[in-house]
Structures are given as C-alpha cells and as structure tokens.
Amino acid sequence: MKNSENTLRTVSENEKITLYLNKEEKNTLEQLGKELAAKRDRSGNLKTQENITSIIKIIGSEDINEDKETRYEVSIPDYIGTLKIKNQIIEIQPKIGLDHFIHIIEAGSDVMSQTRLSKQQLSGSTGNLFWYMVANFLGETELLLKKGLLKGYKLREDQLKYITGRINTLNTFRNFLKGNMLVDTEYEEFTEDIAINRVIKAGLERVLKEKVSFDTNSQLKNFIVSSKKKARTMKSEFYQSGNLKFSDKKTVNFDRNNNYYKDSYKLALNILNFIYGQTTIGNTSISASLIKTSGLIEDGLKSYINSYIDPRFTPVKSERYSADKGSQNFDPDLIFGMKDNPIAAGDIKYSFFETLEDESKINWKISWRDQLSSWAIAANTKKVLIIAFDNQGLGIRSNGYFSINNVEYKFIAWNTMTSKPNIAGKKMISELESFLKG
C-alpha cells in the first residue's frame, strides 16, 4: 500500500488503541513487542531469552468484524513514539501533554525558536517526537563543532619501526628472532577517538538510519531531508572517531573543559535510547520507533531544577544510602545540600496525583510514603519530598504537607492543566524553594 494512503492517528501515552487484527497480525504485533523488550548484545543483535514480557499489551475481545478480524485493545505503557501497523501510523504522545514534555526534557529551553518549526510541523498528524529531538540535537551539535572537537589520550598497542611508550620486551625479542625488526609497544595517542565523540557520532548515524514513518506529503518532509543532509555533513567531522562502544554511555564525566558538549551529548543519548523494531510474519510487517518516558522526565526535571532553583539549594549528584548494615540500599533522585548532611531527599514520579473520595485531600500511596520514610532514615534528613504531576488542578491540598516524628513530608505538583509550561515550572520551583527554606 502506498504511503499516501496511510491513516494517521494520535493517542496519548497509556491510552488503549482499538485495532481489528487477524491472527497473523496479532501474532506479529505480539512478537514485535517481545523483540523490543529483549536485551541485545554489543552488536545490536537480539539475545536468546526465554519468558520475555512484551512491552505491547494486547487484550482481545469476542467482537469480530465482517473481515473476520478480532477487535483488540492495544497499549504501550510508558512509551512514546510511533507504531506502524497495517495502513495506520499511530503517534503516541506523552500523557502530560507535548508542550509540558518538551519544556521539561529541554530543561526549559524554547526549542521552537531555535529550530523555527511550528508545533503543527513537529507533532500530531504531521510528524513525530523523534524528529523534534533531532531538531535540537543538530542545533547543539552545530554549536559544538564551531568550538572544536575534544581530543583525549587513548592507549594503543602496535608494532612500530621506532621505540615509543612501553615496550613489550618478550614480543619484540620474538619479532627480532623471526627477522621482523618491529618494536612491539604500548603507547598513548592524543586522538578524537574518545567516548564523548563516539556517542555524538552514533547519534548522528541514528538520524541518518531513521526511516520516515509518516505521510510523504507531510510538512516535515523537507525538514527531514535537510536534517539528514546536515547530519551527514556533521558526521564527516567525526572521521577520526570510531564506532560506539558498549561502555561509552556510562564513562563520560563533565568538567570545565568539556562542559560545552553537555547539551549535544544529552540529546544524543535521548536519540540513541529510541528503540526501533520491525517484525515480519508471513505477509504482515509491523514496525515501531519508541522511547521510554520515565527516564526522560526524571533527567529533564533534574536539569530543570538545576537551572532555575536558588543556587543555595542546587541538587547534588544522587548518593546511595543504607539505613544500616545489610539493609536495602536507597538511591533518591534528588539530594539537596551536602551529601553527608543533606537538607532534603526527594523522588520524581512520572505519575499523576490522585485525590481521595472527598477530593479535598491527595491520595498518598503507601509505597510512596514508605519510600520517603526510608530515605529520611538512610540519608539522615528531616525533609523528604515527591515531585509528580497534576492533571486535575488539585493544587496544594491540606495533606500535601505533614510531619511525622519530626520528619516533614511534601508533595509538589507540576500542573499540566495550564497551557503555559513555563508557568507550571515556576510554580513548582517556588513551592520547592519554600519547602527547603522552611
């Protein structure tokens, strides 16, 4: 079927999608969900695993249409992106709303003004979130390249005609006995082939490999053609950098020398975290490009708080705590103040607050309260908090703050009902600062 005949649908994250599928289509969708959930080796190949739980939830019914297809309720909890099935392209958008999502993951920056692309061009029926992230990634990488690529020392082993570095005496002696007059040596090379460059190069390669998964008449078509051309040009600047290594995403630390890489690096990781899969069974082929939202929101809110909170309360890097020897370890998302004497510990929940039956009080989940209690003991702090989302206009409820055993508990909400994410962000920061000062 031609691309122009595709039907475009937009749904919210976690929302059930009604689809009529035959047996082969249902099995293909189920298999795709398992493949997307499966672990992969360093080359990206699927590992053989048993009892994999599919990330795509499929619930059947007894309803069968005239084509003998069964009605299914399909959902992909906690993922956003694009699902292409039959003649439908389904855009799955964040449950907190696209404006709030983008404002948070870009730590408050206005990506629209930087890319000169409208919301209509980048979302809903005319595009997808992957390309939204690409727009900012390319912008930040362009700025990075103007400042110049970093170099670092890399350990190399080689056989040379001259002596340098540390000589492997035994191997060199064996070479001489064979008439091979080469010195086996180990030395440090000053090169652009370092982890931080490999990550950004891999992000550019991912842009080039991404398939266009929407109507070819979309307003985004010209943007994508231009973006791929720009990514190809930028990638050529990384010609000395090798392929991405398994450990590269975890070995980069930022300091004053490489801080100008930070935004491009963060966006490259977001792009690499998109998972793409295509599964074919018989005559049925289904594909998806998805990214898990909770991690994006947690990292985004951490950056947002760092950018806008009073410097006295800037969160430090999280620390693992243990209440006593042999007990469970605790790893809060947020630690305010000194690590050894924190003002407060907190967690970010990509969830909506709910009210009790009388709607005058927030429904404190027992698991959340117990988690905060454990952190108060482990981190030896008298203030603990949770930042989550409010889609009902709950505001500050009477039990949004309370104290037990001299420990203060606080719920802080990001209000997604407002059409201005910057206002929601300012109110969240204001409430957070008031709690930390009190």
Amino acid 122: pLDDT: 45
In terms of Cβ atoms closer than 10 Å to its own Cβ (0-12, 13-18, 19+), residue 32 is buried
Distance CA 125, CA 135 (A): 18
The radius of gyration of the chain from alpha carbons, rounded to an integer in Å, stands at 26
Q: For 247-286, where are the alpha helices, taking DSSP H only? A: 262-273
Distance CA 10, CA 21 (A): 19
Amino acid 111: pLDDT: 43
Q: What are the DSSP calls for 342-370, one per residue?
A: EEEEEEEEEEE--B-TTSSSB---HHHHH
Classify 12 in phi/psi space as left (phi over 0), alpha (psi -120 to 50) or beta.
beta
- Within 13 Å of residue 295, how many CA atoms lie on the same side as its CB? 11
Give the pLDDT confidence of 161-217 residue by residue, as tens digits: 666 666 777 776 676 777 777 766 765 666 888 889 999 999 999 999 876 654 544
Residues of the chain with pLDDT under 70: 1-6, 39-51, 107-128, 153-158, 160-166, 172-173, 175, 183-184, 186-190, 211-220, 317-330, 357-361, 394-399
434, two tokens:
């008031």
Give the pLDDT confidence of 319-371 residue by residue, as tens digits: 555 545 444 556 788 888 877 788 998 899 998 887 776 666 677 788 888 88
